[in-house]
Structure 1
């Protein structure tokens, strides 16, 4: 195969030796198109103690994963100066199925990874920035493609027990069947957590995959099923903690929480030719969520009724069916004396929500419908990419993507019904220089976008008040640039450096908690990321991911230029020990830097640093015992902080205050696993 072919198929041709995979010393020279692109191996992920499944994404350098409510809800994500909320501007795929939910009941791009089974993850391939023609909606800050194994070594049985009602069991195997491999995994889970009102989070989770061949030349069919229920302790007003009204781990509404389900089926096919690579995939998804929240306690109830008889609890609910496909064909050849790879791709997606609603509730009883809609959202994308190797030390990748979106909303408020559509062309360009051995320099430029909630594209009146509101722009453009460097500084020490900038256009945001829109301003984010991995010997490895960012609104406003929630600095430092006799383990430190909570930067959240430890012992080649200690030093810090108005039952008027969700205290979990 031509050398350029490997570069054109970064997702498909990264082959690592056993030792390299174990150490995650992936060699992307000649393959990657940016310094911020990489692969997380299954062995690297297996060495990391994960408090929640979504924390697997913290192996993406610079990405912070946290939680502001019950663990059954989607995580909160931070990357490159973005408070990504529950997933906007970071596209995530698992087993060939997109996880981000457009026009979601709770938040645009909602990314719930609670169905992920980390032990079954083969690898995580990540990209950051809008420089890739293949990546579309929600991918401006980055993208992660998580793929499950096709084959496991034996049958895995694992049991984990921990403090505060934690119990998890997993059974997984991949027997040979009919000339292919059948992968199955079944997870049963329960957790109460440290909360004064038990979380009682229960989930049943399963994966079934049949495959033949490899991911580069073969096919697979994957089914996934997940159901979860939980009681949620949401963020609490700091003043209620300070005056003793409630404990840090208490709640101001013991009936918040949720229930969710997700079923999916996906088929993937790839074929290698002498001078070509073909890929096709198709997927179907059915999901639903009922989520009860109460963030302001009595503010709206006092304003409307003059008392707090029912409180401000509300329910967000949706039932969704979605499906999509992707086709891509790459042809390798020559233009004159230059090696080239030309790729053309087609992608499509349809989401149907019936219904998606917002309801006023009290103690989970529905009191009134704020708004209820039926939504159809369709998208189609055509993209093309050309890669040319000009010399032995220079190659270029240029691409163009075209997206068309169509929205139809049938609302319970007739004035908010209607149709909308939008189209966008997004060019991409990357230059890769190889000035000397084991070093590459990257120059990247590209436009991207994210879609807005379909309900915001047709809205004219705010639910409840009837006030006139502006419609959102269906597609919001982003523009990014990056300079990157990848090098092996010393034998075994691989390092990447990226200097980046990303601009987002002015937009209106649809607020799912209120069923209406609010204005936002154009923004600019820039920063530096430095990623390092050093295999000191065959049993000890160090890694360090450091990121700094600067985020500001671009236009003047008396409110200020700071972007709330934009974290300025993050770090993920780790030490991994393996093959030290029967012992293995890992020590990880995560630093989550300070961030402004309001636009004038007068209120900021403090930084936090958390340390997790894994200590393991192999009882035999098939059996091992592992002790995970989360928040090793029992730090009294917060997972998340916000600043907004709320009103307690004892208060006569709203109060602006810090609202916090505490980090869980030191927690121990003991796992016994055996391979048959």
Structure 2
């Protein structure tokens, strides 16, 4: 009987206890805008949450008592705030975080939402000076880029044993808006990031592999999302000048100032102008203009609105790829050109609207609408006089494009017992409509000698996905997702008269399954698995029977994030990727290259070490073994696929106004053809960035290729014929990398 009475007493105490909630918002002290992803912990309790898109957090069903709330985020001072719950009340807390130097000793391996954590990226963006948007792309461990058009064309990208060309197997976005252009005149997935002003980059989110249900087409080797600033601290003007007639001016104007910050709103305009003749013997006459405007703020207490508009234009000459024999014979110099009339012009105008709503039940609703108007015209000559011994082999690739799209999602979070369930449903739509996608043979950019391809493209990609993140306890988390993609491809061939119309439809289902186990704040193991895909160019799909519209891939990562010492952070993974079929449209020639099935596997290793309070060391080492599965041994190498890369360096945080970074990057020799008889030579290059910053001004020095080594930035095994040659020759053709290139900058804020 006494046990029954004791049970009733305990039950009644539990049932009628005064329980309350603590809610709050975490803001950036300078901008007064909310911060997403802040770790909020109830000191002394096993309760940790992350702030949502509006900077909000919530702890429920807490007994009457005083509490301490600890808020921490990379690059901010940890803030401890007191809160008291009395008599079933809801206590609201406002937290302001201020900037501070990054210290690795304060960083823990988080168990909260491990699928979304980007520790390496967050650290690097805080520690390294940003010089250009290319450098930020290089912050993805193992990712290499190469420019072969004087800075005007999109870079060639290498990652995880892939020569990704200009974006075939990597998905790039800016604030969720796609960068890649499908069925592009120059090649599938073409991704030109030059409309991003580097001073406006807030951070970079990335993940290697195809393990995220939200990411669809092209996200096979991985994906990268640039996040631009919602606000600027002050209006600013920055001037840069350097060798080779190089000049750059960047300015930003804070439109709302203190009045906007008081209302949790911000708006700014920013512009960039660049000019250079570059280091080639043929002056590049490169010009680029960027203009960006952005508004961010509340339209209701629980809804954020972000509006971004931008326009970009660029025009240039370039020296193109040159053959080894032209250098060895003395025909041209190392920075010379065979066809000095190569070059191009491109422009892009964007509009991006993002709405994020948090309901009273803490459900998250996201809506995004985007539009781009894009124009592209490129003149290249890869084979010189191989096909046309009189006029030469110059080609023009041209298109005009309108891109429309929508991204939407609905997320809920529920707790059943001790298990947290985060459920997300998403809907995505994208339509690309081109006018006059063209590949033609030309002479001196002015005469069209033959049209090889000419038509209009209408490509639709609609997708739905579901994602479930299940946190069983503070140690074990599972993420499962699935997405369904539908493609409708239409192509109007304008070469015949009358024109012809062809179409192709396809669907693909992509499941994902990921496991995370956090032993303690110093060690987490993870296993990521998933199916991904890349679409093939419309002209490939509709013209060749047996070619898949959508080429699937299957991959997995087994890795660990751990801190063996307080000042050392390590991220390592064993990975595997199988491509079931690779058919790629080669826009340079208007033909299809089929490489069949392929397999890649390797090891990724990233180290971040704090040498002292001010000095950091980092290194990324990446190996890959890429092979074709449908070719005989010895002839199954994948041309230009990287096999070993490493990047790293030293970074100095602000000390009496000084900061800087000394970087290195190395890519090993790699096969340039299928039987490994032609080698693309590797290189080792160093770059230096130094800054001196005071309250209102900053001075910077940037030096590329610090030790002035001679290196080949991009290389191809190409068959070509020079004007006076009787027979064609197949050998390495390359674009020379920059020699020592110094620039100084001065910026002032007001």
Aligning the two structures, in what range does the TM-score lie when normalised by the shorter sequence?
A: over 0.9
User: Is 1:242 equivalent to 2:317 in the alignment?
Assistant: no
Structure 2 counterparts to residues 455-604 of structure 1, below 5 A: 455-460=539-544, 470=545, 472-557=547-632, 560-604=635-679
Q: CA deviation at 1:556?
A: 3.0
Deviations 1:286-310 (A, max 9, x none): 0010000000000001xxxxxx221
User: Is 1:634 equivalent to 2:716 in the alignment?
Assistant: no
Do 1:42 and 1:123's aligned partners in 2 also have CA atoms closer than 8 Å? no
User: Is 1:210 equivalent to 2:295 in the alignment?
Assistant: yes
Partner of 1:135: 215
Q: 1:581 and 1:393 mapped to 2: Cα distance?
A: 42
Indicate the SS of the match to 2:431. Answer: strand
1:452 to 1:410, Cα distance in 2 relative to 1, 3 A: same
**Relative contact order (alpha carbons < 8 A, sep ≥ 6): 1 or 2 greater?**
1
Partner of 2:484: 402
Q: 2:430 and 2:115 mapped to 1: Cα distance?
A: 27
Q: Which residue of the other structure, out of 169, 181, 196, is the alignment partner of 2:266? A: 181
Q: 1:373 and 1:321 mapped to 2: Cα distance?
A: 15
Q: 2:365 and 2:115 mapped to 1: Cα distance?
A: 23
Structure 2 counterparts to residues 645-660 of structure 1, below 5 A: 645-660=719-734
TM-score, normalised relative to structure 1 = 0.93
Do 2:75 and 2:102's aligned partners in 1 also have CA atoms closer than 8 Å? no
Partner of 1:464: none
1:22 to 1:184, Cα distance in 2 relative to 1, 3 A: farther
User: Is 1:18 equivalent to 2:98 in the alignment?
Assistant: no
Of residues 485-494 and 474-483 in structure 1, the stretch that sits farther from structure 2 once superposed is: 485-494
Q: 2:103 and 2:511 mapped to 1: Cα distance?
A: 32
Indicate the SS of the match to 2:596. Answer: coil
Q: 2:513 and 2:52 mapped to 1: Cα distance?
A: 13
Structure 2 counterparts to residues 607-622 of structure 1, below 5 A: 607-618=682-693, 620-622=694-696
Indicate the SS of the match to 1:104. Answer: coil
Deviations 1:418-457 (A, max 9, x none): 0001100010000111123321110111000001111111
Q: 1:408 and 1:266 mapped to 2: Cα distance?
A: 26
Gaps of 5+ in 1: 302-307, 461-469
TM-score, normalised relative to structure 2 = 0.84
Do 2:102 and 2:126's aligned partners in 1 also have CA atoms closer than 8 Å? no
Q: 1:15 and 1:437 mapped to 2: Cα distance?
A: 15
Q: 2:552 and 2:224 mapped to 1: Cα distance?
A: 20
Q: 1:263 and 1:512 mapped to 2: Cα distance?
A: 24
1:90 to 1:38, Cα distance in 2 relative to 1, 3 A: farther
User: Is 1:264 equivalent to 2:350 in the alignment?
Assistant: yes
Q: Which residue of the other structure, out of 502, 508, 519, is the alignment partner of 1:424? A: 508
Partner of 1:251: 337
How many residue pairs get aligned? The number is 659
Partner of 1:30: 111
Indicate the SS of the match to 1:241. Answer: helix
Q: Which residue of the other structure, out of 123, 130, 139, is the alignment partner of 2:203? A: 123
Structure 2 counterparts to residues 336-375 of structure 1, below 5 A: 337-365=418-446, 366-375=448-457
Indicate the SS of the match to 1:62. Answer: coil
Structure exhibiting the larger radius of gyration computed from Cα positions: 2
Q: 1:36 and 1:621 mapped to 2: Cα distance?
A: 32
Deviations 1:82-118 (A, max 9, x none): 0110011111111331100000000100011111111
1:15 to 1:267, Cα distance in 2 relative to 1, 3 A: farther
- Superposition RMSD in Å: 2.6
Q: CA deviation at 1:412?
A: 2.1
User: Is 1:643 equivalent to 2:729 in the alignment?
Assistant: no
Of residues 504-513 and 252-261 in structure 1, the stretch that sits farther from structure 2 once superposed is: 504-513
Q: 2:101 and 2:717 mapped to 1: Cα distance?
A: 43
Do 1:7 and 1:33's aligned partners in 2 also have CA atoms closer than 8 Å? no
Partner of 2:379: 292
Partner of 1:326: 407
Gaps of 5+ in 2: 1-22, 24-39, 41-46, 58-71, 78-98
Q: 1:280 and 1:494 mapped to 2: Cα distance?
A: 36
Q: Which residue of the other structure, out of 461, 472, 479, is the alignment partner of 1:390? A: 472
Q: 1:241 and 1:664 mapped to 2: Cα distance?
A: 17
User: Is 1:61 equivalent to 2:141 in the alignment?
Assistant: yes
Do 1:434 and 1:440's aligned partners in 2 also have CA atoms closer than 8 Å? yes
Q: CA deviation at 1:550?
A: 0.9
